[in-house]
């Protein structure tokens, strides 16, 4: 026990008496451990974030997306689709980029959502003041809009926007309501949105063809069945296979995202692990130099009765302490930088398992890469070691 | 009989030249003896000492230390014998530069599984014995040559070894300091410590009760 404590003491002494070298040696491991923690943490955070936001949409909503720009549904097809079993509501969805301005405020670019009166209820959005979009607004191509809470505040500060006119691409649009604060979703700030009637979008240079739509299913249990029915409808209608469009539930979107996110995490984690291994080679290199530098010390210790095991342990523990220390600094740095990134708006959720694994990896690397130099040191012949200088 | 060498040989081959560093040496030492081995440079003194101290192995011959045949001992046993039965004193002191005087003396004690307090206590006592009170926490570079050699002697004595092997212990010291060191060794021998000392200085050799001459790897009593 004393022997062991003594070995530990010597190890710390050597590491601290060579601070610069020790830190440079540990750097590879520090970066490796920290980046594993940060990358996986951000992956986790994004995953949790997306999952909760997609879930908040409700699991009874399907998203229709026609990826091929050559094909689109027409506005009147909505009525036909509403005939499909269990389809309760459909909101076509389109975004148009435009400049927005209110009286003297600077004009700024904004993404305008063109949709129908059903969108708000499908998305579970409510209004905090004013009124919702009506069927009449759609029929008349009315120049009216609903404002997200953030953009309302930006344009109107404290005054009431309802009934006021804002300029979208220079045209006047009357604000009919303000949407209750939602928070950000999938990296977009939903509270920055401006919603206009689908038919009104033609004034912004967009037609009424439909590429994207949200579909509410009346019974969650029939979601797969309904998906198939919708797919069949579109295949028949447009004469295209499901290679050209998707009808996806929130669950399947989460699955897709999880898959992408996992493979990304594995890739990034892999790259970070390589830096861990490179760090280990650095440790081995320095330990080999250390053995050469301390050959005389090894000789003296052997003359004083050190066994092979004593010398082996001494160098192994030194490598181990170096790596454990590097791992620890890496953990602290990784979580620190991660939390900082979290404050800057990235989603960061550190995983205890990965943190533990990263730390243990650096300890194992200490053993794996420390054993060779330590073994070399322990096998030195006492007389040759004593004669070294 | 504490030490018995029989027909020990150690040859070095350099190219087609053979250097007979130790050539058929037979030699015995009793408990409590103070032997000095004297010979010119290159005569094989250090080689003999390293064999006696189990740091080097002879090519052939038999070496009995305290009844144990060394050629049959395993590496681990050799380490234990070096630790417990032999105390080394080197010409260039060979202290560990980063450790304090006391920590240097503790090294063989800790390899002998003594705990920290015990070994520290013993090291402090030994510092007194070699007249170095107050220098306990100095590292070697803060000590004079004579003081360093005293620390080395204290370290050699740490595990109360059967035998002290001193290879030119005064070789790096001035004559006044040499006399002090020799006085210390003589005192140790008077208290029963077996000592083998190597030197090429007759004045130093004369302090021992028995003088053995070595030249070209051969011993002459
Ligand atoms: N490792 C070695 N390889 C080859 N020759 C060696 C080796 N070690 C010692 N020798 C030779 O063996 C002979 C004896 O050397 P040794 O060191 O024992 O002499 P010494 O009596 O201690 O000399 P000094 O008084 O100078 O220390 C010398 O000729 C030396 O050159
Ligand atoms: Mg010599």
Q: Name chain B contacts of A17, Cβ cutoff 8 Å.
A: 98
- Structure token digits, residue A87: 């389809």
d(CA B67, CA B50): 19
Instruction: Assess whether A166 and A93 both reside in one domain.
Output: yes
Considering its fold, how many domains does chain A have in total?
2
Q: Identify the pLDDT of residue A196.
A: 93
Whether residue A85 is found in the same domain as residue A38: no
Q: How confident is the model at residue B25 (pLDDT cuts 50, 70, 90)?
A: very high
Residue A81 lies in a domain: yes
Residue B51 has pLDDT above 90, yes or no: yes
Residue B45 near ligand 1, beta carbon < 6 Å? yes
pLDDT of residue B170: 87
Position A54 pLDDT exceeds 80 = no
* pLDDT-based confidence at residue A188 (cuts at 50, 70, 90): low
The pLDDT tens digits for A326-353 are 999 999 999 999 999 988 888 888 888 8
Our answer on whether the CB atom of B213 is closer than 6 Å to any ligand 1 atom is no
Helix/strand/coil for B36: strand
- Please name the member of A296, A304, A382 whose beta carbon is closest to the beta carbon of B107: A304
Same domain assignment for residues A25 and A106: no
Residues A260 and A294 grouped into a single domain: yes
CA angle A274, A276, A282 (to 5 degrees): 110
pLDDT tens per residue, range B167-220: 988 888 888 888 888 888 899 899 989 999 999 888 888 888 899 999 999 998
Please name each of the domains of chain B with its CATH number: 32-56+74-220 (3.40.50.300)
Length of chain B counted residue by residue: 221
Alpha-carbon separation of residue B56 from A76, B23, B75 (angstroms): 100, 15, 12
Whether A180 and A298 map to the same domain: the answer is: no
pLDDT at A195: 93
| B204 φ/ψ angles, rounded to the nearest 5 degrees | -75, -45
Tell me the C-alpha distance between A316 and A310, whole Å: 10
Q: Which residue, B71, B51, B93, is CA-closest to A300?
A: B93
What is the pLDDT at residue A103?
A: 80
Locate B138 and state its tokens: 């100095």
Report d(CA B18, CA A319) in Å as an integer: 42
Contact B158, B190 (CB under 8 A): no
Residue A190 confidence (pLDDT): 75
Same domain flag for A189 and A283: no
Cβ contact B108–A305 (<8 Å): yes
Q: Do B75 and A308 touch (CB under 8 A)?
A: yes
Q: Could you give the CA distance from residue B85 to residue B102 in angstroms, rounded to a whole number? A: 21
- B95: which chain A residues are within 8 Å (Cβ-Cβ)? 300
Q: How far apart are CA A89 and CA A78, in angstroms?
A: 9
**A307 and chain B in contact, CB less than 8 A:** yes
Range of the domain at A301: 2-53+256-386
Phi then psi for residue A196, to 5 deg, are: -125, 160
The residue nearest atom 11 of ligand 1, judged by CA position, is B21
CB B12 within 8 A of CB B175: no
Q: Say if CB A283 and CB A365 are below 8 A apart.
A: yes
**Residue B10, pLDDT score:** 94
CA of A382 to the centre of ligand 2 (A): 16
From chain A, pick out residues whose CB is under 8 angstroms from the CB of B94: 296, 300, 303, 386
Q: Work out the average pLDDT over A153-169.
A: 88
Residue A58 in any domain: the answer is: no
> Nearest by CB to B111, which of A296, A308, A310?
A310
Run of H or E including B197: strand B194-199
Identify the pLDDT of residue B159. Answer: 92
Last residue of a domain, one of A186, A214, A243: A243
Please check whether residue A248 lies inside any domain of the structure: no
CA distance A241 to A238: 9
Of A193, A213, A243, the one marking the end of a domain is A243
**DSSP per-residue letters across A271-321:** HHHHHHHHHHHHHHHHHHHHHHHTHHHHHHHHHTT--HHHHHHHHHHHHHH
Q: List, as one string, the DSSP characters of B53-88.
A: TTSS--SEEEEEETTEEGGG--HHHHHHHHHHTEEE
Answer yes or no: do A237 and A261 share one domain: no
Q: How far is the CA of A295 from the centre of ligand 2 (A)?
A: 20
3-class DSSP string for A260-279: HHHHHHHHHHHHHHHHHHHH
| Segment A262-282, tens digit of pLDDT | 888 888 878 888 888 888 888
Which of A1, A296, A303 is facing B88, going by the closest CB pair?
Answer: A303
Q: How far is the CA of B173 from the centre of ligand 1 (A)?
A: 21
Instruction: Say what the alpha-carbon torsion angle A316, A317, A319, A322 is, to the nearest 10 degrees.
Output: 180
Question: Does residue A251 belong to any structural domain of this protein?
Answer: no
In this complex, is the C-beta atom of A5 within 8 Å of any C-beta atom belonging to chain B? yes
The residue among B10, B111, B162 with the most chain A CBs within 10 A of its CB, best to mutate, is: B111
pLDDT score for B82: 94
Task: Categorize the per-residue pLDDT at A185 as very low, low, confident or very high, splitting at 50, 70 and 90.
Answer: low
Residue A187 pLDDT > 60, yes or no?
A: no
Per-residue pLDDT band at A184 (split at 50, 70, 90)? low
Instruction: Examine the fold and report which residue of A243, A264, A291 is the final residue of a domain before the chain moves on.
Output: A243
Lookup result for tokens 């005064």? B170
A280 and A356 fall within a common domain: yes
Q: State the nearest Cα–Cα gap between A298 and chain B, in angstroms.
A: 10
A301 and A183 part of one domain: no
Q: Residues A146, A180: one domain?
A: yes
Is residue A365 situated within a structural domain?
A: yes
Contact A75, A210 (CB under 8 A): yes
How high is the pLDDT of residue A270? 84
Cβ–ligand 1 distance for B21 under 6 Å, the answer yes
Q: What pLDDT score does B203 carry?
A: 86
Mean of pLDDT over chain A: 87
More confident residue, B47 or A103: B47
Among A9, A10, A303, A380, the strongest candidate for a mutation testing the B interface, having the largest count of B CBs within 10 A, is A303
Burial pattern A154-187, b for ≥16 Cβ within 10 A else e, equals bbbeeeebbebbbbbbeeebebbbbbeebeebee
Atom of ligand 1 nearest to the CA of B14: 4
* Residue in B98, B108, B110 nearest the CB of A6: B110
The residue-averaged pLDDT of A238-257 equals: 82
H-only helix segments in A157-249: 223-238
The minimum-distance atom of ligand 1 relative to the CA of B39 is 21
d(CA B49, CA B56) in angstroms, rounded, equals 9
A287, part of any domain: yes
A389-to-A298, A357, B188 alpha-carbon distances in Å: 12, 41, 31
A23 in a structural domain: yes
Does the predicted model carry a pTM greater than 0.95? no
Identify whether residues A84 and A48 lie together within a single domain: no
Q: Is the Cβ atom of B58 under 6 angstroms away from ligand 1?
A: no
- What are B8's two structure tokens? 């020990």
Same domain, A282 and A219: no
Residues of B in contact with A302 (CB under 8 A): 55, 79, 82
Nearest CA in chain A to B90: A300
Residues in chain A, overall count: 389
Q: In this structure, is residue A63 part of a structural domain?
A: no
């Amino acid at each position: 026990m004393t022997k062991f404590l003594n070995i530990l003491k010597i190890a710390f002494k050597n590491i601290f008496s060579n601070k610069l070298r020790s830190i440079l040696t540990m750097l590879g491991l520090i970066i490796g451990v920290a980046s594993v923690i940060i990358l996986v943490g951000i992956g986790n955070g994004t995953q949790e974030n997306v999952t909760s936001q997609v879930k908040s949409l409700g699991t009874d909503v399907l998203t229709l997306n026609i990826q091929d720009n050559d094909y689109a549904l027409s506005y009147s097809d909505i009525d036909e689709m509403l005939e499909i079993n269990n389809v309760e509501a459909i909101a076509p969805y389109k975004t148009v980029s435009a400049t927005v301005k209110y009286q003297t405020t600077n004009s700024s670019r904004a993404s305008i959502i063109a949709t129908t009166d059903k969108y708000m209820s499908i998305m579970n959005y409510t209004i905090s003041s004013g009124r919702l979009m009506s069927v009449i607004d759609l029929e008349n191509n009315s120049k009216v809009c609903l404002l997200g809470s953030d953009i309302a505040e930006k344009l109107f500060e404290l005054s009431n926007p309802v009934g006021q006119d804002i300029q979208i691409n220079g045209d006047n649009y009357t604000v009919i309501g303000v949407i209750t604060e939602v928070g950000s979703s999938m990296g977009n700030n939903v509270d920055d949105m401006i919603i206009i009637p689908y038919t009104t979008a033609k004034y912004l240079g967009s037609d009424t063809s439909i590429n994207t739509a949200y579909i509410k299913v009346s019974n969650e249990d029939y979601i797969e069945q309904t998906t198939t029915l919708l797919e069949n409808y579109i295949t028949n209608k447009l004469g295209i296979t499901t290679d050209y469009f998707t009808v996806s539930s929130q669950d399947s979107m989460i699955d897709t995202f999880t898959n992408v996110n996992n493979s990304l995490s594995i890739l990034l984690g892999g790259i970070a692990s390589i830096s861990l291994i490179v760090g280990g080679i650095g440790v081995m290199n320095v330990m080999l130099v250390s053995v050469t530098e301390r050959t005389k010390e090894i000789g003296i210790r052997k003359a004083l009765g050190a066994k092979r095991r004593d010398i082996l342990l001494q160098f192994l523990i030194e490598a181990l302490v170096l790596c454990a220390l590097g791992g620890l600094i890496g953990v602290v740095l990784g979580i620190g930088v991660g939390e900082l990134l979290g404050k800057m708006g990235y989603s960061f959720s550190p995983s205890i398992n990965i943190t533990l694994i990263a730390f243990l990896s650096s300890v194992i690397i200490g053993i794996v890469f420390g054993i060779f130099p330590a073994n070399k040191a322990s096998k030195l012949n006492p007389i040759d070691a004593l004669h070294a200088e | 009989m504490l030490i018995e060498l029989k027909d020990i040989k150690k040859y070095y081959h350099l190219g087609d030249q053979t250097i007979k560093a130790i050539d058929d040496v037979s030699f015995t030492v009793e408990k409590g003896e103070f032997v000095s081995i004297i010979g010119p440079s290159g005569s094989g003194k250090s080689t003999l000492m390293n064999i006696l101290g189990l740091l080097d192995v002879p090519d052939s011959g038999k070496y009995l230390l305290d009844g144990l045949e060394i050629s049959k001992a395993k590496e681990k046993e050799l380490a234990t014998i070096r630790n417990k039965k032999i105390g080394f004193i080197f010409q260039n002191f060979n202290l560990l530069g980063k450790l304090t005087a006391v920590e240097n003396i503790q090294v063989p004690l800790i390899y002998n599984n003594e705990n920290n307090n015990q070994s520290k206590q013993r090291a402090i006592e030994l510092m007194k014995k070699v007249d170095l009170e107050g220098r306990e926490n100095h590292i070697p570079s803060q000590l004079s040559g004579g003081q360093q050699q005293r620390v080395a002697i204290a370290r050699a004595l740490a595990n109360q070894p059967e035998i002290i092997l001193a290879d030119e212990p005064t070789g790096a010291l001035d004559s006044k300091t040499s006399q002090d060191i020799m006085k210390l060794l003589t005192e140790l021998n008077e208290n029963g410590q077996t000592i083998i000392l190597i030197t090429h200085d007759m004045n130093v050799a004369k302090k021992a009760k028995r003088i053995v001459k070595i030249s070209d790897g051969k011993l002459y009593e």
